Amino acid sequence: MDGFQGKLRQSLQFRLSAWLCGVIAVIAVAAGIVSFLSAFQEAIELQDDQLRQMAALFDGQQLPVPSAAPHVDKLEGDPDSRVVVQWLRPASAASVKPAGALSGLPANLSDGIQTTKLGGTSWRVFVKTVASGARVAIGQRTEVRDEIARDSAQRTLMPFLILIPVLLLLVGGLIRNMFRPLKTMAWELDRRSEQDLREVAPAHLPSEVRPFVVAINRLLSRVGQSVSMQRRFVADAAHELRSPLTALSLQAEQLDAADMSAHARERLAVLRSGIRRTRSLVDQLLTLARVQDSSRERTRTVSVQQVFRQVLEDLMPLAEVKNIDVGVVGTQDARVTAPEADLKTLVKNLVDNAIRYTPNGGQINLSVHANEGQVILQVTDTGPGIAPEERQRVFDPFYRVVGHDEVGSGLGLSIVQTIAGRLEAKIDLGYASEPAQSGLRISVAFPEAAHVATD
């Protein structure tokens, strides 16, 4: 809960929403209170005016003094809300009181509006001396008047009760829309690979955020320059190593033709093997540097079956040395959107790895098929496979699987992962035979942009 509350406190969107909603609620409550009190007071004053107008009728129209009390049971309406009219006479004079008369009303009340207690009940009374000299009192229970005024004042609160939730919803929606470009930018940055250092487009962002985006773009530019320098250094170093390695290789071949003892020939074989491994490592370093440079390759749709044929032509001699059966399963073809050189390098490294780790007389199958809008390229072999706990580590450069004696550059799967990341493809590793937990199955799923074609 603390973590959730901490996130809310740190959220600019939440704090802005809370402050605006709080201010709106406080202002609305204050306005409602003022409106209620004003409407209540106006209703009271209006009822006072009604008492005055009724008194004016008795004065202006010279209404006669009632000579007999009307029968209460003939009166209509709520007796509690009734307005009572009573002539005030001295206490010694005989008085005729109408129904609901103001019992106990003092005859010496001063003229004007006033509130008085009669028999434990509060009355609002207006007393007026008419032209004939008589005095008339018109009264109404304050409880009834307050109820009428309260009902009238409560109706003034209805616009606030409707407006407040509507305003809160509008404020919440507007703030979410204001922050949506930031979330979209964060989502796009989160989906990028570590090699995608393109600038963030600030076109649709608020002007207050643009300086922050400009700073991010400058940082991306500096990181890009640093990464490019490192890649150029690796590529240049590998390229510089090629010439001396070629010279060493030529010297070793010439030395092989010379007469030498068996022990010297054995050491020469070790030397030539070391030179071959070093040359392979240099070639893989150059390949890795090339595939990490994503700016110069032209992307187009490439036939996977055609790439299979090119790779098998290059690697068939290696497979024949180990008597490995390498072939393509099925005739279905598919086209993926990628630089042809990258796709060929990806397949070549997968097949080369399979040949290295498949024992003599083994089998390697290549296949491609479409599934749910994806093009899935698959390479399986009958080698020892890779344990589940090591399937993430094998993509690290120079990582060696424990227990395998096969000598390689340790960069093959790193190159495969780099190319797959650039093409937004996903790699999945598994056993070729799950029951026996042997063999390796590598699947590379290309996204929906791939187009399927059949022969």
The whole-angstrom separation of Cα 386 and Cα 402 is 10
How confident is the model at residue 118, as a pLDDT?
81
- Sign of the CA dihedral 410, 412, 413, 416? positive
d(CA 288, CA 415): 6
CA atoms within 13 A on the CB side of 22: 6
pLDDT of residue 88: 77
Alpha-carbon distance of 444 to 431, in angstroms, equals 15
The sign of the dihedral angle between the CA atoms of 273, 278, 279, 285 is positive
Give, rounded to a whole angstrom, the gap between the first and last alpha carbons of the chain: 60
Query: At 109, phi and psi to the nearest 5?
Result: -65, 140
pLDDT for 117? 84
Amino acid sitting at position 265: R
What's this model's pTM, rounded to 2 decimal places?
0.58
Average pLDDT, the chain: 82
pLDDT, mean of residues 179-184? 86
Tokens of 384: 């020892």
Asked whether the predicted pLDDT for residue 14 surpasses 90, the reply is no
More confidently predicted of 298 and 215: 215
Which domains does the chain carry?
192-293 (1.10.287.130), 300-447 (3.30.565.10)
- Give per-residue burial for 366-396: e unless 16+ CB within 10 Å, then b: bbbbbeeebbbbbbbbbbbbbeeeebeebbe
* Best mean pLDDT range from 9-23, 105-119, 164-178: 164-178
Fill in the DSSP letter of residue 176: H
**367 pLDDT band (50/70/90 cuts)?**
very high
Helix (H) or strand (E) holding 232: helix 210-256
Burial class (CB in 10 A: 0-12, 13-18, 19+), 399: middle
pLDDT in tens, 322-343: 999 999 998 888 888 888 888 9
Q: Is the dihedral of CA 213, 215, 221, 222 positive or negative?
A: negative
- Please report the pLDDT score of residue 453 as a whole number: 43
Predicted confidence band at 61 (pLDDT cuts at 50, 70, 90)?
A: low
Q: What whole-number distance in Å separates Cα of residue 24 and Cα of residue 47?
A: 34
Is 414 within 8 Å of 395 (Cβ atoms)?
yes
Contact 202, 212 (CB under 8 A): no
Q: Cα separation of 181 and 187, whole Å?
A: 10
In this predicted model, what pLDDT tens digit does every residue of 401-443 receive, in sequence order? 766 666 666 788 889 998 888 888 899 999 988 888 889 999 9
Beta strand ranges found along 201-259 (DSSP E): none
